[in-house]
Amino acid sequence: MKIKAVFSFFRSHKGVAIYGALVVIIALIAVFARVIAPYDPIASSLRDAFQPPSAEHLFGTDFMGRDLFSRVVFGTRASLSSALLLVVASMVIGGLLGIIAGYAGGAADAVIMRVCDAMLAFPDLILAIAIAGILGPSFINTIVAILAVSWTKYARLARSMVLKIKKRDYISAARITGSRTSHILLSYLIPNALPTLLTTAVLDIGTTILSVSSLSFLGFGIQPPTPEWGYMLAEGRNYMMTYTWLMLFPGLAIFVTVISFNLLGDSVRDALDPGYRKHKLRKRILKEKRAQSLTPGRRTT
Amino acid sequence: MKKILSLLLITALLAAALAGCGGKTGEAEGNTPAAPSASAKTHLNIAADWASVPDIYDLSNSWTCMRIGVTESLVHFGEDCSYQPWLADSWSVAEDGLTWTFVLHPGIKFSNGAALTATKVKESIEAVYAAQDPAAGGAGDIYTFMEYTSISADDEAGAVTIVTKEPVPDMPGVMAYPLLAITDVAANAERDLLVDGPIGTGPYTVVSYTTDHDYQLAKNPNYWDGEVPFETVSWVCVSEPGSRYQALLDGSADIATHIQASDLPALRDAGYNISIVAGARDGYYHVNFEGPLGNDALRKAVFMAIDDETVCAITTGGSYTAGYTPLAPIYTQWGGEKIPDPAAYNPEQAMKILDDAGITDSDGDGWRELDGKNIELVYVSNTSRQMNEISQAHAALIQAIGVNCRVQTVDSQGEYMRSGSFDMVNSNEMIIPTGDPSNFLSHWYTGSGTGYNYARYSNPEFDRVYEALKPEIDTDKRNEYIAELNRILTEDCVLLLGGYYNFNICSSAAVTGAINPACDFYWLTKDIKPAA
């Protein structure tokens, strides 16, 4: 019965099914990188450097003679894991702080929201670069730097949702019947805010992958020889005119992954967000009405 | 529908991008270098790898002022790094070995029209020493080259007399160094030096400077050494070598510096001029003798693990020439070609040395230990002149003999060098800054202290020879001492050479005379002219 329901959901939301499948393929590439990659992504063979794409090396080799296909495949791990870790951590930390700010109000709200405002006063990436620059280049520091600037979005969203939900009658009823705050939060507020937060999180994965790659490209992220797409782009840029493949394939990997997550995010929003669904429905009805009013012979009196 | 359209649009964009990238190696083959225009070319565009502040009182920034053709010094280095007259026609040293007299070329003017007099030269030199005075918080670099007890000026004879504290055998070379370029101190005082640049005697003057981005230069109307070929020059910092190459190809630059070696064949085929000089600059690593590499067996094995021929020829694409002596064998007077390589590439032998010395992997983690502790060598490296690529290649080769090694990429290595927080730290250094390598060799002299002897190397034999070299005036004797120091450093495996840097300047057919000098102080010169 449940499987039937899942199939029915995918049938009525084809976008989620198609883009979800793409994302699953990317995730499988990350999980089975060791099986898919024909070579060790770190093993170098200096004398085989700068080999063009061939049957032996599908994407060619880099300046260390490392197989680029294997590095791109293994790079999926770094990009996906860091992006997922970041999005989940941002959602949990930002979401919790937003719920606390919205529900408690007063000083807690003022402090949390002013910190948010202060963080939002700087451009995301610039602030992340500054933080990563201070902490030093590493995988963990990249996560910390991006997390420091990305949680604010979730905090503001969660707060606004809590402010809306807590005025509902069922919350008042829960309070009157003596429900504890933790019960109200866990049973009513969080479940109601979660779908919107989740939709935002899925939409955010693509952007986060770009942020991680940007920091790595600038030398603040994952350090060599670990394969990471942003750093691979940086390594290839010095040779972009002569050995084009060094930038092309990591660039394509970023492009395909980001676009897959963005399209999936859009489809998930269409499917899950009732507000957005209503908005689209209203637009469709308006469009149909306009079309009807312009159709000759069908004009109403 | 909208989503499908967006997807199609993106696919079309991607296809266009791929089509753009899909050209055969070296798009230059299809292009031709910018042809000389019919009318005389009056503006020159240079894509350079740097545009640092025009600070005449800072060691490295003083180079910029000379490279952009704004300042000149008393002495000039010739093609073979010999001393040639420039602002000074001649010089001599008295029998005491301390009193040097430089006679100025008559009729020279600064760019503001003021005459270059002996007094102006005296003021200029004194101003540099005052700004560099360590007692007043200055960097003190110039004091490592030469210290004087007095300077006197005879304006009528056009002669400047400098009495040094100790004999300075390479005194003409010291006076050729960009930090001692001659500027009009009185006129400088009325300018914001770091923006407007100094008043010098060079063929060009600074019109405007945008920090780390560009210099706009104009012809010096009072230039003393012939007609200045261009009315205006744009010197733009293009930090990516690939972008400088592209700037040459698309005609937005007439001259570009430091093009990556892998791009040079395409440029050459397309008819661009390429001027390359090797040997005067070493890409090398200071080895920390206070760390694990203080162990002779480990250090020798690490040196032996480096396949320098492959790293230079393939990893850097020929930007470096492989070698193992600190002073390149092309300087035959310093005996490099006679010194055998004590650690020629031989990974099997390297592993045997480690095994024999008990540096083995006893805990089975794949990495060898020294005195029971895991070894993890750290290469501290910046990205300038492909040093990061060399560091990564070295690290991979060292790992291949079972020694754990990683690369730490940094913007600037200075702090790491001074604090000793490294096992290997890269340097890319001009070895004959005064036409003589004694200043470079002082890196390994214990008297230099850890502020300059970054390796913390201590060898009484090296110190003895260096102390003999310092005051020696006789050229043959000096060469003997330098050759001896070259041998000691090589045999002791003291500095790990990445390679001798093949510095290049490339230019389109629209200009002539863009020649790369052996001493890379002179980039924009009066000799760069529009093609006839």
pLDDT at B160: 97
State whether B327 and B450 are in the same domain: yes
How far apart CA B3 and CA A267 sit, in angstroms, is 10
pLDDT bucket at B12, cuts 50 / 70 / 90: low
pLDDT bucket at A16, cuts 50 / 70 / 90: confident
Instruction: Give the minimum alpha-carbon distance from A288 to chain B in angstroms, rounded to a whole number.
Output: 16
Instruction: Say yes or no for a CB contact (<8 Å) between B314 and A239.
Output: no
pLDDT at B154: 97
In chain A, residues with a C-beta closer than 8 Å to the C-beta of B262 are 50, 239, 242-243
State whether B354 and B254 are in the same domain: no
Instruction: Give the minimum alpha-carbon distance from A279 to chain B in angstroms, rounded to a whole number.
Output: 16
Q: Is A266 on the interface with B (CB under 8 A)?
A: yes
Residue B471 has pLDDT above 90, yes or no: no
Domains and CATH numbers, chain A: 2-294 (1.10.3720.10)
Q: Which two tokens stand for residue B17?
A: 């991008």
- B419-443 tens-digit pLDDT: 999 999 999 998 988 888 998 999 9
Q: Which of A64, A242, A266 sits opposite B263 (nearest CB)?
A: A242
Instruction: Give the minimum alpha-carbon distance from B433 to chain A in angstroms, rounded to a whole number.
Output: 29
Specify the range with the lowest mean pLDDT, choosing from A197-201, B391-395, B495-499: A197-201
Residue with tokens 């004091």, as numbered in its chain: B143
How far apart CA A54 and CA A68 sit, in angstroms, is 11
pLDDT at B24: 38
State whether B204 and B258 are in the same domain: yes
- B315-356 tens-digit pLDDT: 998 899 999 999 999 888 899 999 999 999 999 999 999 999
State whether B263 and B366 are in the same domain: no
pLDDT at A196: 85
Q: Mean pLDDT across the stretch A146-152?
A: 90
Contact B426, B391 (CB under 8 A): yes
State whether B115 and B231 are in the same domain: yes
How big is the A-B interface in CB pairs under 8 Å? Answer: 73
pLDDT at A300: 44
How far apart CA B75 and CA B433 sit, in angstroms, is 13
In chain B, residues with a C-beta closer than 8 Å to the C-beta of A47 are 310, 314
Specify the range with the lowest mean pLDDT, choosing from A19-28, A168-177, A270-279, B214-223: A270-279
Q: Mean pLDDT across the stretch A42-47?
A: 92
Using only C-alpha atoms, what is the Rg of chain A?
A: 24
State whether B265 and B286 are in the same domain: no
State whether B480 and B526 are in the same domain: no
Specify the range with the lowest mean pLDDT, choosing from A263-277, B74-88, B277-291, B337-351: A263-277
Here the CATH number for the domain that contains residue B402 is 3.10.105.10
Q: Mean pLDDT across the stretch A123-133?
A: 83
Interface residues of B toward A, Cβ cutoff 8 Å, are: 3, 7, 10, 14, 18, 21-22, 25-27, 240-242, 245-246, 260, 262-263, 266, 307, 310-311, 314-315, 317, 383, 386, 389, 392-393, 395-397, 406-409
Q: Which residue of B has its CA nearest to A243?
A: B25
pLDDT at A301: 40
What is the 3-state secondary structure of chain A? CHHHHHHHHHHHCHHHHHHHHHHHHHHHHHHCHHHHCCCCCCCCCHHHCCCCCCCCCCCCECCCCCEHHHHHHHHHHHHHHHHHHHHHHHHHHHHHHHHHHHHHCHHHHHHHHHHHHHHHCCCHHHHHHHHHHHHCCCHHHHHHHHHHHHHHHHHHHHHHHHHHHCCCHHHHHHHHCCCCHHHHHHHHHHHHHHHHHHHHHHHHHHHHHHHHHHHHHCCCCCCCCCCCHHHHHHHHHCCCCCCCHHHHHHHHHHHHHHHHHHHHHHHHHHHHCHHHHHHHHHHHHHHHHHHHHHCCCCCCC
Peptide bond into B460 cis (omega under 30): no
Residue A277 has pLDDT above 50, yes or no: yes
Q: Which of B10, B262, B314 sits opposite A242 (nearest CB)?
A: B262
Residue B373 has pLDDT above 80, yes or no: yes
Q: Which of A64, A242, A263 sits opposite B392 (nearest CB)?
A: A64
Q: Which amino acid is at B369?
A: E
Q: Is A84 on the interface with B (CB under 8 A)?
A: no
Q: Is A137 on the interface with B (CB under 8 A)?
A: yes
Instruction: Say yes or no for a CB contact (<8 Å) between B315 and A63.
Output: yes
- B70-102 tens-digit pLDDT: 999 999 998 778 899 999 999 999 999 899 999
Q: Which of A15, A65, A240 sits opposite B242 (nearest CB)?
A: A240
- B259-268 tens-digit pLDDT: 988 889 889 9
Using only C-alpha atoms, what is the Rg of chain B?
A: 25
State whether B487 and B512 are in the same domain: no
Output the average pLDDT for chain B: 90
- B18-45 tens-digit pLDDT: 444 443 333 333 344 544 444 578 999 9
State whether B249 and B328 are in the same domain: no
Q: Which of A219, A224, A241 sits opposite B27 (nearest CB)?
A: A241
Q: Which of A47, A63, A241 sits opposite B242 (nearest CB)?
A: A241
Q: B152: part of which helix (H) or strand (E)?
A: strand B148-154
Contact A229, A59 (CB under 8 A): no
Specify the range with the lowest mean pLDDT, choosing from A166-175, B107-116, B140-149, B369-378: A166-175
Q: What is the pTM of this model?
A: 0.77
Q: Is B462 helix (H, G, I), strand (E, B) or coil?
A: helix
Choose among B180, B130, B126, B128: nearest CA to B151: B126
Query: Which residues have a Cβ under 8 Å from the Cβ of A234 and sit 6 or more positions away?
Result: A216, A217, A218, A219
pLDDT bucket at A171, cuts 50 / 70 / 90: confident
State whether B225 and B137 are in the same domain: yes
In chain B, residues with a C-beta closer than 8 Å to the C-beta of A41 are none
pLDDT at B516: 83
Q: What domain range includes position B83?
A: 2-270+508-530
Q: Which residue of B has its CA nearest to A44?
A: B396
Query: Which residues have a Cβ under 8 Å from the Cβ of A269 and sit 6 or more positions away?
Result: A199, A202, A203, A276
- A73-107 tens-digit pLDDT: 999 999 899 999 999 999 999 999 999 999 888 89
State whether B402 and B337 are in the same domain: yes
Q: Is B4 helix (H, G, I), strand (E, B) or coil?
A: helix
CB atoms within 10 A of CB B209: 23
B262 vs B233, more confident: B233
Here the CATH number for the domain that contains residue B259 is 3.40.190.10
Residue B465 has pLDDT above 90, yes or no: yes
Q: Is A88 on the interface with B (CB under 8 A)?
A: no
pLDDT at A139: 82
pLDDT at B313: 93
pLDDT bucket at B306, cuts 50 / 70 / 90: very high
Contact B265, B406 (CB under 8 A): no
State whether B497 and B514 are in the same domain: no
- B239-258 tens-digit pLDDT: 888 889 999 999 999 999 98
Residue with tokens 């689209």, as numbered in its chain: A280
Q: Is A263 on the interface with B (CB under 8 A)?
A: yes
Residue A155 has pLDDT above 80, yes or no: yes
Substitution target from A241, A247, A258, A259 for chain B, most B beta carbons within 10 A: A241
Residue B532 has pLDDT above 90, yes or no: no
Output the average pLDDT for chain A: 87
Q: Which of A15, A64, A241 sits opposite B245 (nearest CB)?
A: A241
Residue A9 has pLDDT above 80, yes or no: no
CB atoms within 10 A of CB A269: 21
- B157-202 tens-digit pLDDT: 999 999 999 889 889 999 999 999 999 999 999 999 999 999 999 9
CB atoms within 10 A of CB B516: 18
How far apart CA B50 and CA B40 sit, in angstroms, is 28
Highest mean pLDDT among A113-127, B9-23, B65-79: B65-79
Highest mean pLDDT among A270-279, B273-282, B521-530: B521-530
Query: Residue B313 carries which DSSP code?
Result: I
Q: B19: part of which helix (H) or strand (E)?
A: helix B2-21
Phi, psi torsion values for B158, nearest 5 degrees: 65, 40
Distances (CA, A) of A25 to A29, A31, A177, A225, A260: 6, 10, 49, 25, 10
The HSE-up count of residue A49 (CA atoms within 13 Å, CB side) is 23
pLDDT at B10: 54
pLDDT bucket at B229, cuts 50 / 70 / 90: very high
Choose among A240, A1, A70: nearest CA to B262: A240
Q: Which of A63, A237, A244 sits opposite B240 (nearest CB)?
A: A237
Q: For chain B, how many structural domains are there in total?
A: 2
pLDDT bucket at A13, cuts 50 / 70 / 90: confident
Substitution target from A220, A238, A283 for chain B, most B beta carbons within 10 A: A238
Q: B273: part of which helix (H) or strand (E)?
A: strand B273-287
Query: Residue B350 carries which DSSP code?
Result: H
pLDDT bucket at B470, cuts 50 / 70 / 90: confident
- A207-221 tens-digit pLDDT: 999 999 998 898 888
